[in-house]
Amino acid sequence: ANPLGILIANVQSPALVPEGKHIPLMLGVYAVPAVTACALATVGIHEKVPPTPPSASATNSTSKPFLTGLKMLLRNKPYIILAVCFGGGIGMFTCFSALLEQILCEKGYSNEFAGLNGALFTVCGLMGAFLLGLYVDRTRKFIESTKICFCLSALASIMFAVTSRFRHQAVMLAITSSLFGFFGFAIYPIAMELAVECSYPVGEGTSTGLIFVASQIEGVILMILLQALTVRVSEDPVSTCALDQGGALDWTTPVLVLAGLCSTMACFYVIFFHTDYKRLHAET
């Protein structure tokens, strides 16, 4: 649902906001599904467990209380490595989606093209997650699959960082955005499974929820850092950015830093992450 929401926003936003004065309209449109979902979740959910157990291990659940589980997670080295690396990955994907238009407009690419790249990033990511999910369900190679995809997504981020600094590279930008999404989002469901596997018998809600909290924190830090690294440049007639008083922003350093961080996290994850499949062992 999260990637689908990002996809819809990437496609609709350029159409809803042809000028800056239309931003309140866009926010109002996006508030409708958010408020509706909040109301349905508040009023419509009354049970704390599903009618049927989602897995064999959940039939006789031994999940720890929240605070006990939290303490266990903070002492679990594989889980901490996974939370930092995967949480950072989600944060980087969030930054990529949010800043894509600002990165591309300086080189003369339109808002519509930026939205198309964001849509390709998400659609290819959903395809990658689906295909890798089928593969992992058959082979149970969770760790190997995430490590390979993390490395390939790091390479795709480097390709994007370089390609985005040149004009008239629409085809290459579309390809690199697609590859970045395909390999990056493919990790998404598998990493969630790994979080449960390496943290069992801690509850799934606690182990996955803490990763989302880490991703939001890392995403905010990355967003602030990348925007602080931009350099204001003189007005360029090719630029399609909405210029303010100081001119356009050069995103060369931020995109290189983003690619460097992605590569660093991929190397750290490949070298240091190792774990047993605790839940699978418990089910067998």
Query: DSSP readout, 92-140?
Result: HHHHHHHHHHHHHHTTT--HHHHHHHHHHHHHHHHHHHHHHHHHHHHH-
The percentage of the chain sitting over the pLDDT mark of 70, rounded to a whole number, equals 83
Quick check: 241 pLDDT over 80? no
Backbone angles phi, psi at 263, to 5 degrees: -65, -40
Question: What tokens were used for 69?
Answer: 């589980």
d(CA 50, CA 54): 8
Instruction: Tell me the per-residue pLDDT of 52-93, one tens digit each, with 9 for 90 and over.
Output: 765 555 555 556 677 887 888 888 899 999 999 998 888 888
Within 10 Å of residue 180's Cβ, how many Cβ atoms?
Answer: 29
Cβ pair 152, 139 in contact under 8 A: no
Query: What value does the mean pLDDT take over residues 174-191?
Result: 90
- Residue 99: is its pLDDT beyond 50? yes
If one compares 239 and 277, the residue with the highest pLDDT of the two is 277
236 pLDDT tier (thresholds 50, 70, 90): low
As a whole-number percent, the residues of the chain with pLDDT over 90 amount to 26
Looking at residue 50, its pLDDT comes to 64
Residue labelled with tokens 């490949």: 270
Dist CA 266 CA 155 (whole Å) = 10
pLDDT tens per residue across span 113-143: 888 888 898 889 889 989 998 999 898 888 9
For residue 31, what are the CA distances in angstroms to 22, 35, 45, 95?
A: 15, 6, 21, 21
Task: Note the pLDDT of residue 239.
Answer: 67
pLDDT > 70? residue 48? no
> Region 143-153: what's the mean pLDDT?
93
Domains in the chain, please, with CATH? 64-283 (1.20.1250.20)
Residue with tokens 């999404």: 181
**Position 245 pLDDT exceeds 50:** no
Does residue 185 surpass a pLDDT of 90?
Answer: no
- The pLDDT assigned to 54 comes to 59
Q: What band does 189 get if pLDDT is binned at 50, 70 and 90?
A: confident
Closest-CA residue to 151 (of 117, 184, 121): 184
Q: Which of 8-22, 176-190, 207-221, 238-252 has the lowest mean pLDDT?
A: 238-252
Which positions ≥6 away from 126 have C-beta within 8 Å? Answer: 3, 4, 7, 185
Distance of CA 119 to the CA centre of its chain: 14
Tell me the pLDDT band of 16, cut-offs 50, 70 and 90: confident
Instruction: State which of 43-47, 224-228, 237-241, 247-251 shows the largest mean pLDDT.
Output: 224-228
- The 8 Å CB, 24+ separation contacts for 65-72 are 66/203, 66/206, 69/199, 69/202, 69/203, 69/206, 69/207, 70/206, 70/210, 72/199, 72/202
Distance CA(259)–CA(222), nearest Å, equals 12
